[in-house]
């Protein structure tokens, strides 16, 4: 609740009615973010979410039809915030390498801002699980965003013989898992580790890609 205003919903409205409406919506979204991170999507109940606000249970349904809708709203929020960065990366990229490097870096930045140990640790709670994944609405949404973007980018390029869908999958999977690992390791991710991890990830990918393409086209 303390971060109630962390991500505002951006709707500027003037009447008092509108203001409280917006505030309630935000209140629900923030509670949901928290609870999803702590308990996971499946395990969280609508009750858990409203318990995290000072609203009454019935009020939830004035704003969302179900927890799925909240999930979607959260996802949309993240995407909206993330897209500009991704766009800038695309605009500045002169090559596919530039683009991938930039996207991965943007992702790790985003992750270090919104991810936290609970998020990363949660997924594996029920299993014995050394596995760790970053599985909040926000992260899923951002991944999808990158995926879409990356595939589109690759499709416009002509990377001889490389299956762009697989390449995208590889990039996503690699980044996601390494990212989870990073979060889990340094809870307070600092700037430096982000740079280094992001360099590791894009280095691996890009060098691999280079060899693949050069091997493919002689």
Partner DNA sequence: GATGAATGAGCATTCATTCAT
Partner DNA sequence: GATGAATGAATGCTCATTCAT
Binding mask 14-33 for DNA (x = CB under 7 A): -xxx--xx--x---------
- Chain-centroid distance, C-alpha 94: 25
Candidates 59, 80, 124, 213; binder of DNA (CB under 7 A) is 59
Candidates 58, 91, 127, 215; binder of DNA (CB under 7 A) is 58
157 binding DNA? (CB under 7 A): no
CA 145, 149, 150: angle at the middle one, nearest 5?
A: 115
Q: What is the CA radius of gyration of the chain?
A: 19
Q: Which does 61 bind (CB under 5 to 8 A by kind): DNA, a copy of itself, none?
A: DNA
Q: What number of chain residues touch DNA (CB under 7 A)?
A: 23
179 touches 115 (CB < 8 A): yes
Minimum distance from residue 43 beta carbon to DNA (Å): 8
Candidates 46, 109, 121, 212; binder of DNA (CB under 7 A) is 46
Q: Which does 107 bind (CB under 5 to 8 A by kind): a copy of itself, DNA, none?
A: none
Nearer of residues 92 and 155 to a copy of itself, judged by Cβ? 155
Q: Which does 21 bind (CB under 5 to 8 A by kind): a copy of itself, DNA, none?
A: DNA
d(CA 103, CA 35): 28
φ, ψ at 130 (rounded to 5°): -85, -15
CB atoms within 10 A of CB 105: 20
Place of tokens 């990918």: 205
Question: Which distant-in-sequence residues (6+ apart) come within 8 Å of 172 by Cβ?
Answer: 143, 146, 147, 150
54 binding DNA? (CB under 7 A): yes
Minimum distance from residue 64 beta carbon to a copy of itself (Å): 14
Instruction: Determine the number of helices (DSSP H) and then strands (DSSP E) in the chain.
Output: 9, 0
Residues of the shown chain interacting with DNA in the complex, contacts defined by CB under 7 A? 15-17, 20-21, 24, 45-48, 54-63, 65-67
């Amino acid at each position: 609740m303390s971060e109630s205003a962390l991500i505002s919903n951006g709707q500027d409205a003037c009447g008092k009615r509108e203001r409280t409406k917006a505030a309630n919506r935000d209140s629900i979204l923030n509670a949901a973010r928290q609870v999803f991170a702590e308990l996971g999507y499946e395990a969280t109940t609508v009750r858990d979410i409203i318990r995290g606000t000072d609203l009454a249970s019935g009020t939830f349904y004035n704003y969302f039809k179900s927890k799925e809708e909240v999930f979607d709203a959260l996802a949309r929020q993240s995407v909206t915030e993330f897209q500009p960065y991704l766009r800038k990366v695309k605009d500045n990229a002169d090559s596919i390498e530039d683009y991938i490097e930039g996207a991965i870096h943007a992702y790790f930045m985003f992750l270090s801002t919104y991810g936290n140990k609970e998020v990363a640790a949660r997924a594996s709670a029920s299993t014995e699980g050394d596995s760790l994944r970053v599985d909040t609405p926000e992260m899923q949404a951002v991944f999808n965003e990158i995926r879409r973007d990356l595939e589109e980018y690759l499709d416009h390029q002509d990377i001889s013989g490389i299956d762009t869908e697989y390449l995208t999958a590889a990039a996503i999977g690699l980044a996601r898992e390494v990212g989870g690992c990073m979060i889990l390791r340094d809870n307070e991710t600092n700037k430096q580790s982000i740079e280094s991890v992001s360099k590791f990830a894009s280095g691996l990918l890009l060098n691999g890609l280079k060899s693949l393409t050069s091997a493919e086209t002689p």
